[in-house]
Structure 1
Amino acid sequence: MPHRQGYNRQPRFQDRYSTMPICSIHPLPYSADPIAFFARIREAPRAVLLDSGRPTAERGRYDLLSAWPLQELTVADDENGATYLQR
């Protein structure tokens, strides 16, 4: 994939009253190994890759890539999952 200027930057907001960033959706050609796509954002804040495991895993369907979260949700040291979900 050729490098695109500004590709690995935080999303811009449309105006100061927006709560959602401007998003662009680009269809990607199928790849059994999503690592090449993830390499483009791996240095971004909180970059994650959820690999479906295809083609080895027969039930995997989607690979998910994400970065630049607007909010981070964390469980406190003294709480369990059920308590966290009640907040």
Structure 2
Amino acid sequence: MNYTYMVQCADGSLYTGWTNCLSKRLKAHNESKSGAKYTKTKRPVKLVYYEGYETKEEAMGREYAIKQLTRKEKLQLIEF
């Protein structure tokens, strides 16, 4: 399973990404050097939203679509 996810950083900002293992990716964002450059200085991050997909391409496509949304639209997505 592949996932598109959104985390909220310690400063309140949102980061969107994709992965094939949510728990490993969250751990990487919070603890290791393999987390995203953006989240390294904004720790800790917490998972606020995710969607599952069969293929990597679907997850990556949805990641791109979410990144095109405004902050307000992203917050609305999280609320559902």
Identify the structure with the greater helix proportion: 2
Larger Rg belongs to:
1
| Higher RCO structure (Cα 8 Å, ≥6 apart) | 2
Q: TM-score, normalised by structure 1?
A: 0.20
Q: TM-score, normalised by structure 2?
A: 0.21
